[in-house]
Amino acid sequence: MRILLIANAFNSLSQRVYTALRARDHHIGVELALGDDLLRARVAAFRPELILAPMLTTAIPKDIWSAHTVLIVHPGPKGDRGPSSLDWAIHEGESEWGVTVLQAAEEMDAGPIWASVSFTVAPCSKSELYRNEVADAAVQAVLLAVDRFADGGFEPERLDYHRPDVRGQLRPYHDQRIRRIDWSADDTGVVLRKLRAADSQPGVLDELYGREYYLHGGYGEDRLRGVPGTVIAVRDGAICRATVDGAVWVPQLRPRRVSGGPPTFKQPATDALGRDLPASVPEVPVTPASAAVRETWSELRYREEGTVGYLEFSFPGGAMSTRQCRNLLAAFQQAVTRPVDVLVLGPARDFFSNGIHLNVIEAAEDPAEESWLNINAMNDLVEAVLTTTDKFVISALAGNAAAGGVMFALAADEVWCRESVVLNPHYRLMGLHGSEYWTYTLPQRVGATEAERLTQEALPLSAGDAAALGLVDRVIPGSAETFWVSIRRAAAELAGSPDLTNRLVTKKQRRDADEAAKPLASYRSAELAQMRRNFFTAGEPYHEQRRNFVHKVRPTRTPPHLLRSPIAAS
Ligand code: COA
């Protein structure tokens, strides 16, 4: 079927829907919602049999939805309406929520219902929920709705608030008055819900040291206590603020834009506060091993089960700054000294990695220099994984990865991926050649021709597409939690397998042979020569593209790589 996807942005959910429909051999077009006339022109040119809006906050013009069936994905259960569904769900502590696919009609979110799927709300931020439970339910609901449409004869259900399964309601925009934290009264549970309902956008507006900031991210703390509202500790760029009955960690802040001032963006909290942060606030570090048995905020956790070591990392937005790469490298080097045979790398949920930290680079005094430091720190980390020959290393992707983050995953011996993961193994859209030894790992896995196609086409791949190409080794269905149950079982089996010694010997032989044929240092220097040009030569597009990304500048037209839309991955 010819299906046109219309979305505000080609974001994670749109990419999930795109890859899922492409896998079913539908012919998919993508158009960003950048104006009614542009939409009309694309609809006329594409001639869709069905229009689907996986993520749309604006109305589709009536002349389009009256001439075509237009299905809208709404992140709420049947009957839920309004622009802030997930914010309300998290704010009110809902345990079950849903995704509904409705037909576009005169009244927003009130059209006939084609499918609705429920899910359990995980205790995490809105955007993490969106990329995980919401995305899984949305794909299920979309596939159901598309099948129903294709079969014909399905009568979509009219919205009827008298039906017992219609439990949603129309709710207003969730504004900053509702989000405001009363530090003298709100307990930790309430504070966390407010922070999580506002993350990643728009954040909770608050005041720190006489200036206004949006607070981003919210994690619990089991030990630290203090005067409610005050900053009582810092750790790895995050701040810890006391509540009336505990404390919470806030990893990122965005200064409120002052009228007439430059636009602002999210930064590690301590960077955003700068000199305003009193020297008396202590840095309270935690080791990866101790963080693993505590309820506190930590970017790194390490635990062992038998002869398997698990190095868990988790970076907001999957972005890895110079500091974060170096800390992860130190934790990896420490893990390598442990008496384990198998090392599993990856976050418990959400993004595996999205490469170098474009916001930290944007905020740096010299962004080109910081880009250089960051890519070198990333390369040091990737090199450490590539050259570890006495352990079997697995990258476990419970969530998405892009650019250098995909290439980082490829440094491991095997890549195990949750079925719902979307991979973007390319750098071109950021104006970069890319490094992370991708010129070594990617062609080795998929061949030179596919490597060229993937990096130039710049389109997302599902885990299934990636497995078909040899980019990933195992695809595991289910939620992030069931994914980790399977990973632990498979890693333990591998560690106990009589075959492991042979595999490690083969691995070492292969690395030695590869090194003799072409040293890793040659790959690195050739990649970095190109990256140096990207970072330091005038006229290169990278700095402008990074700025646009960080400041969320919307394109004026659907980018050309989305207009080409091949039918299916080979
Ligand atoms: N540096 C800084 N922030 C990053 C980032 C990076 N490399 N990659 C993602 N983020 C942030 C986004 O700004 C966004 O922040 P927000 O939640 O405050 O809006 C958040 O992480 C999630 O990303 P978003 O773009 O909303 O998610 P998505 O699932 O729709 O798209 C990507 C995911 C990876 C395709 C997209 O974020 C991307 O292109 N990132 C840049 C990748 C890159 O070029 N890295 C540098 C080269 S190695």
CB 566, CB 453: distance < 8 Å: no
For residues 130-149, give the mean pLDDT.
Answer: 98
Confidence tier at 246 by pLDDT (50, 70, 90): very high
Region 249-273 average pLDDT? 96
Q: Which residue has the least CA distance to atom 20 on ligand 1?
A: 317
Centre of ligand 1 from the C-alpha of residue 316, in Å: 10
Q: How far apart are CA 3 and CA 48, in angstroms?
A: 5
pLDDT reading at 282 higher than 50: yes
Angle at Cα 146 formed by Cα 143 and Cα 149, nearest 5°? 150
What atom of ligand 1 comes closest to residue 359's alpha carbon? 2
Q: Is the pLDDT of residue 529 over 60?
A: yes
Rounded to the nearest 5°, which phi and psi values hold at 127? -75, -30
pLDDT cut 90: percent of the chain above it? 98
Q: In what order do the strands lie in the sheet with 219-220?
A: 219-220, 247-250, 238-242, 231-235
pLDDT, position 570: 35
- The residue type of 81 is R
Pocket lining for ligand 1, CB < 6 angstroms: 11-12, 127, 200-201, 266, 317-319, 354-359, 400, 402-404, 424, 427, 430, 432
Closest atom of ligand 1 to CA, residue 357: 1
Q: What is the rounded average pLDDT for all residues in the chain?
A: 97
**Ligand 1 centroid vs 261 CA: distance in angstroms?**
25
Q: What is the pLDDT of residues 31-49, one digit of tens each?
A: 999 999 999 999 999 999 9
Once rounded to an integer, what is the mean pLDDT over residues 325-352?
98
Residue linked to tokens 């207003």: 172
CA of 253 to the centre of ligand 1 (A): 17
Answer whether 68's CB lies under 8 Å from 43's CB: yes
**Which residue has tokens 């530090």?**
183
pLDDT of residue 564: 72
Residue to probe by mutation, ligand 1, list 204, 216, 354, 372, most atoms within 8 Å of CB: 354
Could you read off the pLDDT of 73-96 as tens digits, one per residue? 999 999 999 999 999 999 999 999
Q: Is the CB of residue 104 less than 8 Å from the CB of residue 65?
A: yes
Taking residues 194-211, what's their average pLDDT?
Answer: 97
Region label for 501, one of left (φ > 0), alpha (ψ between -120 and 50) or beta (otherwise): alpha
- For residue 135, give the nearest of 87, 197, 75, 80 by alpha carbon: 75
Question: Residues 442, 446, 451, 457: is their CA dihedral positive or negative?
Answer: negative
The answer on pLDDT for 182 being more than 50 is yes
377-423 pLDDT, tens per residue? Answer: 999 999 999 999 999 999 999 999 999 999 999 999 999 999 999 99
Instruction: Please answer whether residues 271 and 360 qualify as being in contact, where contact means their C-beta atoms are separated by less than 8 angstroms.
Output: yes
Mean pLDDT of 317-331: 98
Instruction: Give the pTM.
Output: 0.97
Domains and CATH numbers, the chain: 2-172 (3.40.50.170), 178-276 (3.10.25.10), 299-481+493-537 (3.90.226.10)
Contact assessment for residue 333 and residue 383, using Cβ atoms and an 8 Å cutoff: no
- Tell me the Ramachandran region of residue 229: left when phi exceeds 0, alpha when psi lies from -120 to 50, beta otherwise: left
559 Cα: distance to centroid of ligand 1 (angstroms): 17
Helices (H), 447-519: 448-457, 463-469, 480-496, 500-517
Ligand 1 mean position, distance from CA 251 (Å): 16
Please write the tens of the pLDDT for every residue from 428-454: 999 999 999 999 999 999 999 999 999
Q: Are strands 219-220 and 300-305 parallel, antiparallel or unpaired?
A: unpaired
